[in-house]
Amino acid sequence: MRLSGTDRSRRLLTAGAGIVFAAVMSLVLIIGFRLATEIRASVGALQRASELETYPSVVSEQLTALRERLDTLEYTGHVHAELAGSIRGFNRDLAALERQPGLDPAAMHAAAALWRSYAGVLTPVLAYDGEPYSDTATTSSLSRSGRVFYAHVRRAELFAQTHAAALHRQLATVSASLQAGTAAAAARLRLLLSGGVLAVLLLGLAAAYLQLARSRGERAAREAQEQTRDILATVREGFFLLDADYRIGAVWSQALTHMFARQDFAGLSFEELLRDKVPPETLATATKFIKLLWGERAHENLMKSINPLGQLEVSMDNGRGGKETRYLQFDFHRVMGPKGIKHVLCAVGDITSSVLLSRELHEAQENAHSQLDMMVGMLHSDPLQIGAFLDSASAGLKHINAILKEPARNHAEFSKKLAGLARELHSLKGEASALNLMSIAQRVHHLEDMVAELKGRSELTGNDFLPLVLKLDELLAHLRGVREMTLRLSSLKGGTPAPEGTLSTPILRLGANGPEELASTLHSLARKLAQDHGKDFMLTLNGLADCPRAYLPTVKDCLIQMLRNAAVHGIEPDAVRRAGAKSGTGQVRVDFRRVESGYEMLFEDDGAGLLPEALKEAAVRRNILTPQQAAQLDNRATLALIFKPGFSTRTEVSMDAGRGAGMDVVAKAVYGLGGKIGVSTNPGRYTRFKIALPAASETAVA
């Protein structure tokens, strides 16, 4: 837990006050102990001094009692012993008192000197241990030693009577000095105790103040905590902190529980949070990004711009045992500390509604744009021509549906469908482009993308075709819309409305207006291609009027594809043409004529021609040939590569080229009529296709 500056100061103050309190109390106790010991010793000494004060008179009285007993010839032994005890006691107490510090040294010295003068008279008294009396049968009297003893006693009595008062005074002075010392010590102790009590009081007040401040701080912290809890419980975004191990911290907003359908997040790693909710690749990317966030070198704004979790599609339990798709927006902010990045704050928003809404809006806009484009395209085209295209498209889609309907249970059978689908779609796109119906062409292009993607898969099942059939349905619905619009336009123009065809019942036949319509379509397509690809070329059509109606749809398909190829691959950009000493305007020429065996169509452009080495390289690149096979091909076989399905020299797919389906469509269409197709070229000069078709009557064409 991190402490604020105020909290830290408060804690320091509390610790300081505690230390001061302990120090003061220790000092008071130590000094108090010493003073108490001193007072105790002084009191002992005082007692001893008081006792000493009584000794002079006691000794004097004992000497008088001893003398009186000698006068009356009574037994003196016990009085003599008591005197000896008093003298011993006096000596002991005086010696002890002399060791006591704080005495008045002069008084003590005088008392000791005076007592020492007692010794001269007392010593002979105390030293006597004989029998002072001599008894006869009738009388008793002092013995000779008794008389000497008596004289000593009498002398000592007189000495004591003379000096007892002085000795007492000296001892009283000593007592007084001791008393004064004890009183001073007691006063110091009182002062000390008062000081200690005052210090404790002050420290108590300080502790109370600090406690009060702490309570205030804690209350504020509790309130702040409560507010944070309320915010986290109410906010609609999911908030949490990630630590350096990419794990979620102990605090998070309640919204997360709804977003991720779980209750506990503390300690959960970011990877665990998203596992099973996003595909493994997305999870790997997300984890990498999170790691990058901890790199201090990476600029935060730059990181934001490359955030792969800005709109993350997640699969969540829907609470009914199923899954639902939701969109989450993750935003990351670094939380910096003194030593660098401390945490990463993650804000998560559920943007499902806005994503779906914007998707719907986008689709609506797209639809509006495509309808407008379609309308513009249709206004520039003949309604009958569009009607014919729609019928052709319906027939094409019917064929596509028939391909899909063919039973398939394994990869090979599913894979086989894809080539046929690609051909049909490419042909359909070519026709739509020729009529400038770009909304249709784009939809078909998208379908082609899906087919191309499926071609690349190593294992195919029916599930893989579900998106395709849905797109096909969408395309059919779009074609229905186009047809309805055509009918409305026709009625606006006052023409005969073209009746509605269906997937199964095409009504208008392609080429209803014959070769003129075909010529018009091709010229229109040529203009569009020239504009789209920045090429300048002129299309010349000869003899199309000789084309039998039965061949018109196939001829149209072939010419559309060849014209697109010529525009994309053949005709060079203006600068290249001029550098090659050619005219800036390219020439594309179609000659259709009747011949003995039937019909012949020549298609020629004066463009770059076909480069055998480039064709071989493309075939190897697209895995149509191995490098060894390519090396062994002769010129003729090399040129024939362009009719292989999936062959294209382009590395990128565009609306007009790159799928490798164009010339495949042409060849299949020609072979379908029992015809032949050949190609010749002069690199840098021209490419020429020669198509031979049998007489129309010999072939049944639908």
Partner 1 sequence: MLREEELKTFVDGTTRYFEVAAQQPATIGSPYLLEGEPAMHDYTGMINISGKREGVVYFTAPRAMLTVLLMKMQESDFSHESMRDLVGEVANTISGNARRDFGHDFVISVPSVFAGEKPQLAQPSGARAFVIPIHWRSHSAKLVVSLT
Residues that bind partner 1 (CB under 8 A): 318, 320-325, 398, 401, 404-409, 413-414, 417, 461-463, 465-467, 469-470, 472-474, 476-477, 503-504
Taking the C-alpha atoms of 196, 200, 201 and 206 in order, what is their torsion angle to the nearest 10 degrees?
A: 140
Q: Which residues contact 146 (CB under 8 A, 6 or more apart)?
A: 70, 130, 131, 132, 133, 134
Give the nearer residue to partner 1 in terms of CB position, either 408 or 665. 408
Give the nearer residue to partner 1 in terms of CB position, either 337 or 462. 462
- Minimum distance of partner 1 from residue 404's CB (angstroms): 4
- The SS3 call for residue 415 is helix
Give the nearer residue to partner 1 in terms of CB position, either 361 or 576. 361
CA torsion sign, 30 to 35 to 39 to 45? positive
In sequence order, what DSSP letters do the residues of 147-181 get, joined into one string?
Answer: HHHHHHHHHHHHHHHHHHHHHHHHHHHHHHHHHHH
Give the nearer residue to partner 1 in terms of CB position, either 270 or 465. 465
- Minimum distance of partner 1 from residue 384's CB (angstroms): 26
Q: How many CB atoms lie within 10 A of CB 451?
A: 24
- Minimum distance of partner 1 from residue 503's CB (angstroms): 6
27 alpha-carbon distance from chain centroid: 56
Helix, strand counts (H, E) of the chain: 20, 12
Q: Which residues contact 434 (CB under 8 A, 6 or more apart)?
A: 521, 522, 524, 525, 528, 560
The strand pairing partners of 317, in sequence order, are 323
- Minimum distance of partner 1 from residue 468's CB (angstroms): 8
- Minimum distance of partner 1 from residue 524's CB (angstroms): 31
Residue of 184, 202, 171, 251 whose CA lies nearest to 2: 251
Give the nearer residue to partner 1 in terms of CB position, either 315 or 491. 315
Could you tell me the two tokens for 601? 């169509």
Q: What end-to-end distance do the CA atoms of the chain give, in Å? A: 85
- Minimum distance of partner 1 from residue 324's CB (angstroms): 7
Give the nearer residue to partner 1 in terms of CB position, either 96 or 503. 503
Burial 96-114 (b: 16+ CB within 10 A, else e): ebeebebbbeebbebbeeb
- Minimum distance of partner 1 from residue 322's CB (angstroms): 4
- Minimum distance of partner 1 from residue 235's CB (angstroms): 26
Give the nearer residue to partner 1 in terms of CB position, either 237 or 464. 464
- For 586, list phi and psi in degrees, rounded to 5: -75, 160
One-letter amino acid of 92: R
- Minimum distance of partner 1 from residue 394's CB (angstroms): 11
Give the nearer residue to partner 1 in terms of CB position, either 313 or 536. 313
Give the nearer residue to partner 1 in terms of CB position, either 118 or 465. 465
Q: How far, in Å, are 402, 632, 641, 664 from residue 625 at the CA level?
A: 31, 10, 10, 16
